[in-house]
Amino acid sequence: MIVGWEVEKVKAGAVVGLLMVPIIEMEKKEELKEGEVKIEVNRGNEKPPMIGGEPQVRLFPGYNEITDEVWNKIKVHLTSKILDKQIVYLSKRGKDEETGDMVEEGIPLGDLKPEKAKEVIWNCFDVTVLERWKAEYAAKNDLIRTINLQFDGIAEGKVPDEKIGKGK
């Protein structure tokens, strides 16, 4: 899931710090009275990354990428920021393969329209995410390069050398 935090402020040149969000899933438990529901925290069996702390997601100003699973756990903690449009997320509706239910899932960078993908990249400041995208899309660019070499080889009546891209 691509999640933007304070993207408009980042575009305007303002730096707003880090947003730390605990990865705690809220679960509905027993009914108390009609209309009332008791909410309890489900911490699971995950060990916190440091003594005394819960696992956390850090959001940099601008665009970030987190898994859909983690997003679904932290989204409830960000409701007011989502409603105030301080946080935006890029998602689509799809079917859960196991249950068949309609679910919200993130749109991968490569599935965005080119203009939006460029905006996301130019407004992402998490080096880890940028490195992951670079590695993921480098392979795709290499395939495009290979396809282009094949087109060139066909047009020139040559078989491209797969290692250096020169015809034989």
Per residue of the chain (168 residues), give pLDDT as tens: 888 888 777 777 666 676 777 676 555 444 545 555 444 444 444 444 444 455 788 888 889 999 998 898 888 888 989 998 989 999 998 888 888 888 889 999 989 998 899 999 988 888 888 988 988 888 787 777 777 777 787 778 776 565 555 544
Does this model's pTM top 0.75? no
**Backbone dihedral region for residue 31 (phi beyond 0: left; psi -120 to 50: alpha; all else: beta):** beta
Q: In terms of residues, how long is the chain?
A: 168
Domain edges within the chain: 2-108, 126-168
Residue among 126, 104, 117, 91 at smallest CA distance from 19: 126
Long-range contacts for 88-97 (Cβ within 8 Å, ≥24 apart)?
88/3, 88/4, 88/7, 89/1, 89/2, 89/3, 89/4, 90/1, 90/2, 90/3, 90/4, 90/116, 90/120, 91/1
Which two three-digit tokens encode residue 120? 């996301």
Q: What is the DSSP letter of 44?
A: T
Residue among 77, 57, 76 at smallest CA distance from 67: 57
Expressed in percent and rounded to 5, the helix, strand and coil fractions of the chain are: 40, 25, 35
